[in-house]
Amino acid sequence: MSNTSNTLLGILTGAIAGAAIGILYAPDKGVNTRKKIADGAIDYKDTIVEKASEIKDTVMKAASEKKVSLEDQVESIVSDVSYKTEDVITTLEKKLAELKKQNKKYQKA
23, with CB counted inside 10 A (0-12, 13-18, 19+), is: middle
Q: How confident is the model at residue 26 (pLDDT cuts 50, 70, 90)?
A: low
Query: Is residue 12 within 8 Å of 47, Cβ to Cβ?
Result: yes
The sign of the torsion formed by the CA atoms of 5, 11, 17, 22 equals: negative
Q: What is the pLDDT of residues 27-66, one digit of tens each?
A: 667 677 677 777 777 777 777 778 878 888 888 887 777 7
Average pLDDT, the chain: 78
